[in-house]
Structure 1
Amino acid sequence: MIDLHYWTTPNGHKITLFLEETGLQYRIHPVNIGKGEQFEPAFLRISPNNRIPAIVDHAPTDGGTPVALFESGAILLYLAEKTGQLLPADLRGRQEAMQWLFWQVGGLGPMAGQNHHFSQYAPEKLPYAIERYVKETARLYAVMDRRLADRPFLAGDAYSIADIASYPWVVPHERQGQQLSDFPNLKRWFDHIAARPATARAYALAEQINPPQPMGDEEKKILFGQDAGTVRRP
């Protein structure tokens, strides 16, 4: 059994997408990051960076004590290795998937995240910051579009954790100032993943846990007002 500590963010969606695709047994423990639940001591023991998602695997393959993990990329890799699914077994296929997984973790996620912050949530709309991150998001979309010109998925012929990692960050493309019609190969990839039954189940689950609603001022303060003191406080 996998305990998934989760909230309805792109990084959270990565893990529900994987779990729904593979059929692993799991139970969700919602961590409402708008209410500050990510700072609870019990959660910090699993995720010292006070970020979701995090998991506890109560049946690791070595038969030992439960394994706790934080960071979405590390979790995807762990679960793929545990199940033998959604990660190519051959050397070259595995490396293709791994490099695109890390591309998302190091590029698409952080850049799209800054795009969201400055265009949607920042109290002061800074034209330079908005333009900077909208353009960088477009560049990253173009990288994916070029990559997908001659293959159905980021790592090649098979759907993998590389696709699962990137898809949730493309879902809010309109909020990022992007039109998928400008990236036809990416659009084809996106539409294919959106139509997968596991994708529909994962996003339906998210709507049950946290129905869409505007973010309040207190939530913004909790999410965007963190500093070193946030980590050091008891």
Structure 2
Amino acid sequence: MIELHYWPTPNGHKITMFLEEAGLAYRIHPVNIGKGEQFNPDFLKIAPNNRMPAIVDDEPAGGGAPVSLFESGAILLYLAEKTGRFISGDLRGRAEVLQWLFWQMGGLGPMLGQNHHFSQYAPEKIDYAIKRYVNETNRLYGVLDRRLADRAFVAGPDYSIADMACYPWIVPYEKQGQNLDDHPNLKRWFTAIAERPATQAAYARAPEVNPDYGKTMSEDAKKVMFGQTASSTKR
């Protein structure tokens, strides 16, 4: 059983997408990040960066004590290696998956996250910051669009953890100030993943866990989410 510590955010969706695709048994433990549950001492034992998602694998390969992991990219890679799915066993194919997984972790996610913050959540609308991150989002969309010009999925012909990592960050494209019609290869890829039954099952978990999913974040939640310092973890 995979114990999944989760809240329905882009990084959270990555893991439910994998688990649904692979058919792995899992149990969700909600971590309400708007209420500060990511700072609870028990959660910090498995996620010292006070971010979700995190997992505990009660049945790791080879047996032994449970394995806990934080960071969504590390979790995707662990699950791919555990199941032997959604990552190539070939040296070159594996390298393709890994470089695009790390591209998402180091670029697409952080830059689009800043887009979300300054355009949707910041109490003061800073035109320079909004333009900076909307433009960078557009550049990254262009990178994906060019990449997908001659292949079905990000790392090649097969669906992989690189796709699962990227897709949830593209879902809120309208809020990011983007138009998928400007990126036809990306749009084709996005539509294909959205239509996968496992993707739909993964996203169906969101309102089950958070009945307010999709609604405007409260001011109290913003204070918890965006007022963090080193002292936030001292509980």
C-alpha distance after superposition, 1:13-69 (max 9, x if no partner) = 000000000000100000000011111111000100000000000000021100000
- Matched to 2:100, the amino acid is W
Q: Secondary structure at the match of 2:24?
A: coil
TM-score with structure 1 setting the length: 0.99
Structure 1 Cα separation of the partners of residues 40 and 124 of structure 2: 30
Partner of 1:206: 206
State the match for 1:118 in structure 2.
Answer: 118
Where does structure 2 lack aligned partners over 5 or more consecutive residues?
none
**Which consecutive unaligned segments of at least 5 residues does structure 1 have?**
none
Q: How does 1:91-106 map to 2 (within 5 A)?
A: 91-106=91-106
| SS of match in other structure, 1:124 | coil
SS of structure 2 residue aligned to 1:29:
strand
**Cα separation, 1, equivalents of 2:50 and 2:230:** 12
Matched, 1:217 2:219: yes
**Equivalent-residue separation in structure 2 for 1:200 and 1:41 (angstroms):** 33
1:131 is the counterpart of 2:161: no
How many angstroms apart in 2 are the aligned matches of 1:202 and 1:156? Answer: 23
Residue 230 of structure 1 aligns with an amino acid whose one-letter code is: S
Root mean square deviation, CA, Å:
0.6
Aligned to 1:177: 177
Rounded to whole Å, the distance in 2 between the matches of 1:7 and 1:178 is 25
Query: Which secondary structure does the structure 1 equivalent of 2:159 belong to?
Result: coil
Between the aligned partners of 1:114 and 1:135, the Cα distance in structure 2 is: 12
Structure 2 equivalent of residue 89 of structure 1: 89
1:73-131 Cα offsets, whole Å, 9 max, x none, are: 00000000000000011000000000000000000000000000000000000000000
1:214 shift after superposition: 1.6
User: SS of 1:62's equivalent?
Assistant: coil
Structure 2 equivalent of residue 57 of structure 1: 57
Structure 1 position 229, deviation (Å): 1.7
Match of 1:195 in 2: 195
Letter in 2 for 1:220: K
Q: Distance in 1 between matches of 2:30 and 2:229?
A: 24
Amino acid at match of 1:210: N
Q: Which residue does the alignment assign to 2:45?
A: 45
Could you tell me which amino acid in structure 2 is paired with residue 61 of structure 1?
A: A
Alignment match, 2:160: 160
Q: Distance in 1 between matches of 2:43 and 2:159?
A: 31
Q: Which structure 1 residue ranges, 4+ long, deviate > 4 Å from structure 2?
A: none
Residue 227 of structure 1, CA deviation: 1.1
| 1:150-180: CA deviation from partner (whole Å, max 9, x where unpaired) | 0000000000000000000000000000000
Between the aligned partners of 2:231 and 2:55, the Cα distance in structure 1 is 26
Q: d(CA) in 1 for partners of 2:204 and 2:55?
A: 20
Aligned-residue sequence identity (percent) comes to 70
Counterpart of 1:162 in structure 2: which amino acid? A
Q: Give the structure 1 partner of residue 151 of structure 2.
A: 151
